[in-house]
Amino acid sequence: MTASELERRLSFLKEVAPFNSIPKTALELVAGSFQVRKYKNREIIIYQGDTTCNFYVIKTGTVRILTIDESGNESCLRVLTAHDIFGELSAYDSAPRSASAQAVGPCTILAMDHSVFRRYLMDMPDLALAFTQFLSEKLRWTTLFCHTIAQYDTAGRLLHLILHYKDMFGRVIVEGKTYEVDLPLTQSDLASMVGARREWVNRLLQKWRKKGFLTYSRGTVTILDHSALVAEMNRRMAKFQDESW
Amino acid sequence: MTASELERRLSFLKEVAPFNSIPKTALELVAGSFQVRKYKNREIIIYQGDTTCNFYVIKTGTVRILTIDESGNESCLRVLTAHDIFGELSAYDSAPRSASAQAVGPCTILAMDHSVFRRYLMDMPDLALAFTQFLSEKLRWTTLFCHTIAQYDTAGRLLHLILHYKDMFGRVIVEGKTYEVDLPLTQSDLASMVGARREWVNRLLQKWRKKGFLTYSRGTVTILDHSALVAEMNRRMAKFQDESW
DNA sequence: GTTTCACTGTGAACCAGGTCACATTTACAG
DNA sequence: CTGTAAATGTGACCTGGTTCACAGTGAAAC
């Protein structure tokens, strides 16, 4: 790797969550240990159940995390994009992969071998602490999310999801009002993510379309009235807020 | 602390998840840094929103983790017992407490100051790795749980919850068949945990009581037919398993 | 002992969401 | 350009779950 390549990789890694808080010298060491890999559309990066333990950083492109249950039914868990990391859990604990990862469109991915990664964790307390903090934030977020979705009804969960991905993927058209969210997801995928049926997701999207809140066209959600969607979502929680006083 | 006290504490900590995998010499160091605290029934150990960052291990008794939302509505997140740890997240990342912790009955708790804890994490790579693994398992579990409850209906979620606490709290009466699960939870608490209303939880419990699957009496669930409950729970998933082939 | 209050049990009306069945649109292979 | 499969849209009907209203049942408090 040339010096300018290293330089570019360093500035890239500074945008990646757990690496942005470690000293520059440490980061230089780490940066050299990634391999670059390219994946084509629909290519599988990680197979659920595998015992590979590498960990990955998305350089460009989009990755879908999904599970397939005993009866072959596939269900999308989440969608990741540039600067997100995935596969870290197995890198720490060597447990089999709990989900698959699939390229959505062409992707460039940095991969690190788990034994190298573990060594860094042991040798660089700063890195270990950064990862611990990263994990703890993620766990805090997931726990809250888990609790939140248990409270919302299906419409609330779907809005929650759309607004979440708006923050990740959204292209601003009119600040605070109009956004284009290019999710690589079908309505069936959305349904599997919120635990509902495709038909109901469709009906909800239609309802919001008729109200002028958003439009949906094979994977692209265009938010037309952001504050109306937020208000709609909050109304969904309200039903649980009136008791106990 | 006398030598025999230290000895007892060491053997206690060997039963506590992230400490059970670190070398004995390291454990001896850590063990000396806990303070013992006693809490009375209903006493609050951690207040949601606080910026204290200590972390805790339950020696004896039961602790309830709960949140209170903007409108004062309290909702139970989970219930912990001896050998469980809590409050670790703020110890890593110093973020404000996302939930409160309350003693259910008298409790003895070991507390460690977060600055001491952080120092150990920096100085002892073994400990840091053990905690990283612990966190990653917890995150893996929480993610799966989150995904699972989104799929189940209310009855399925309630069964999932009861069976989960059976593993934590259950006293075996007849192996594989009858268990007594002494949860310190009202039906309203159960309802808030599965995102349903008290009345519906009651109706479900009544239904299962009439079928002879369990009984419920102010906080104590007695599982009378474990395999029937498991079967009932699995049936709840089945509705999502028939499509896509 | 009786008052009180939090928890539990239950009916009836109603709405969210699932089920099934099909029509329509769109993407893509040949 | 055309056939085929996948994704989307929609109606009719049914069930799970909420809402509201109120009655029963302890357990602790005076």
Contact across the interface for A143 and B71, Cβ inside 8 Å: no
Quick check: B105 CB within 7 A of strand D? no
The H or E element spanning position B223 is: strand B220-223
Chain Cα centroid distance, residue B221: 17
Q: How far apart are CA B120 and CA B118, in angstroms?
A: 5
Alpha-helical (H) ranges within chain B are 3-13, 24-31, 88-93, 114-123, 125-151, 154-169, 187-194, 198-210, 226-238
Q: How far apart are CA A156 and CA A28, in angstroms?
A: 44
B116-138 residue pLDDT tens: 998 998 888 888 888 888 999 99
B187-234 residue pLDDT tens: 999 998 998 999 999 999 999 999 889 999 888 899 999 999 998 888
- Among partner residues A67, A132, A144, which is closest to B98 by beta-carbon distance? A144
Query: Contact at 8 Å (CB) between B207 and A37?
Result: no
pLDDT at residue B242 above 50? no
Cα dihedral across residues B47, B53, B57, B60: positive or negative: negative
A167 touches chain B (CB under 8 A): no
Chain Cα centroid distance, residue B72: 23
Q: What is the pLDDT of residue B243?
A: 39
Protein A187 CA to nucleic acid D7 C1', in Å? Answer: 8
In a mutational test of the B interface, the residue from A136, A148, A234, A239 whose CB has the highest number of chain B CBs within 10 Å is A136
Query: Contact at 8 Å (CB) between A152 and A160?
Result: yes
Quick check: A67 CB within 7 A of strand D? no
In A21-118 the beta strands, taken as DSSP E runs, fall at: 35-39, 44-46, 55-68, 74-81, 85-86, 100-112
pTM value?
Answer: 0.86
As given in the structure block, the two tokens for residue A123 are 């040798």
pLDDT at residue A244 above 50? no
Total H helices, total E strands in chain B: 9, 10
Q: How far apart are CA B227 and CA A23, in angstroms?
A: 54
* Closest residue by Cα to residue A192 from A43, A47, A67, A44: A67
Quick check: A216 CB within 7 A of strand D? yes
